[in-house]
Structure 1
Amino acid sequence: MKLNLKRVFIIFGLLSFSIGAQDGTKLIAWKPIPEASGYQIQIKEKTGKIVIDKKIDTPYQSIEDLPSGVYLVRTAPLNLFKKPAVWSAWKDLEVILSEPPKVVTEEEKPIILPKSESKTEKTIANITIEGEHFLDATKVDLTKKTETLPILSKEVKSSERIDLKVDTTEAKSGPYDLTVTNPYQKPKVVTNFVKVEDPKHNESEDSKKSKIPKGKPFRDFTYEEMLAFLETDIAVNCKNTKVPALTLSECHKTYVILNFTSDDNQSVFEFYKLINENQSDRISAYQYFSKNCSPKFRPAFERMELQSKNQRNLDPEERQTLLQELMKFRNCTR
């Protein structure tokens, strides 16, 4: 019977033990002892319950019927009287299910990774991989022909998410393929998953960034400067949201966690709501800025003034709220 490689149990943490998964057999094995008359193997759950206790003639044991989980295992060679001569110490045994990995991709441009203009200035990029069936033993590579991006760290957050830190300091510009491999499974390859961009060839981004003042508090930005900032502050590793990267703490498959550790962060997020297409978001932002009006967040004030001049485009409810909150904003004495 041939082994179905779509679902394979993998054994970890056996120290002197080894594993086998060929011709349909899943087993653990250990070094044979020439003078042994056989062996006894015991496997128990963490609760202490013995699930396998057998005397066998071979230095290996099938674990076909062992469910995935964490166990302890020990073995002993048998003497001439078929009695255990000496037991090994109990050792950790983890049985996990290895399945073909899946990667969630969207029909969008690849994730853009920055590259420093100076080779003396190290550039580290954060990448989030979303999918299914990720394990601690999952191997991840980012390659382009003979080039490989150095992965400084890999953290498996869950079976659906892996976080990477990648060094792009000396990386060659261009697209790189992502390869995700689980033990005993075929690799999953996603072409053009990321792209390293040379700042010299990114003129449009440079043009936008030139409009963003350096060292100037967000509350003192003009409306146009804040728009330019939001156009460049893209959460490239969080494709399921357009929320500004500055205001993100964590990105998950179906939700995000916001970072409001500073007033600036929240004000930038509220400004993002202010220019949103969602009416409820805009109304909420009007109320936020009229209430938190000191110090005045200039880009929001200019946006609301502009909205009041074009209020005919708003429905009656939003128009009324805008005018009320803008009046409070103008007359703020806090």
Structure 2
Amino acid sequence: MLNKSKHSLPFLPSWFVLGVFLLISFPIYSKEEGVKLEWRPIPDAGGYMVEIKDSRGKITREKTNTTLIQLELPPGTYEHRIGVLNRYGRVSVFSAWIPFEVILSQKPEILSAEKNKFLNKDLPDTFEIKGRHFTDATKVILKDSKGSEVSIKSMEVKNSETILVTLDKKRPPEGAVSVRVENPRNKVTEKENYLFVAETESDLAALEAKGQQKESVSSGAPFRFDYGAVARSAIIPGWGQYYQNKSNFRTFLFPALLLGAGAYVASEGNSYLSASHALAAARQNNVLYNYAFIHTGNPALFDLAFYNYTQIAPKYSAAVAEYSQLEVGIGVLGFFYLLNLMDAGFFAGNKEVKVEGAPGPVTVSPVIRNLKDQGQINSYSLGNSPNLFQRMEVGVQFAW
């Protein structure tokens, strides 16, 4: 038995180790799809054992019958090795430990340059791009006002917030220069008019004025009522918000509110109808008892008619109260429906505007949220448990 198992599988050939190394020895970018390890199949393998070791030396193991494994790993440095299983499920041989790095790929952000106006003769060889979420795999593309790509001699990512770009002075840019920063997994950010380069001061001033005019038109456009989104939300609440690519919270908030208010209105409507029927029956019985007493003179009928008469006033009050609650429910339902239309028409979603003194474009987004006031627990419900006050906040949030 031992001899058979000893020779059941060959040792890992050199091309296997080399193939795994070529596949996994570079940084892996993990966000939506996780980390994917893949290797070439080994003839007669009974499966594989994958071992992952993190920077603290902790090892996780997973068996698989395929040559591909999907892992969910947080960003960091790791090592891995692949073991071949024999027919008894034991590891016959392991590959060498191979390092790899998991990097979180995020959409980069670009801040405005501290100095963005240069004469041709004063254009520096090297300049910095400030922002966020830069990695060693970040790419930078510069384009001039004609849309032609500017020649870059070298690029160095100093840290996650600074990129050092060295220009090719033999082919310097001219005009309004835009910058495009790309991270893996198609995470891209572009910024127009990042640099202005001209031959004379007057040409430089003209370029800057033209760039400011274009930017004000694109980011400070006049308000436009979104009729299409309003029409959609009028038919199906939340449809307009979905059409505007708003957050899931704002998309599903109004349908949930309207369904809740609609259920309350239906419940109060049924209660009002029951109270109305009870009041109508009491009035009808009062007429019948009085008529019978007048024609028969039976004292028992008088007592019954009098008692029924005393019940009419409470039933009337109950019907009025139920009607008032129904009115409140209908009002709340109408308010939520109107709020749904206003959100679709007046708040088209996040937009970028220029604010004086801010390092870059400011993102303005409307905020609607329900907050619990933890500081107020002064009243108590009938169940002898404290009531927690809540408040709705509606406003605008600025981010840069």
- Indicate the TM-score class for this superposition, using the shorter chain for normalisation: 0.3 to 0.5
Q: Which has the higher strand share?
A: 1
The normalised TM-score by structure 1 is 0.48
Of the two, which has the highest radius of gyration? Answer: 2
The normalised TM-score by structure 2 is 0.41
Q: Which has the higher helix share?
A: 2
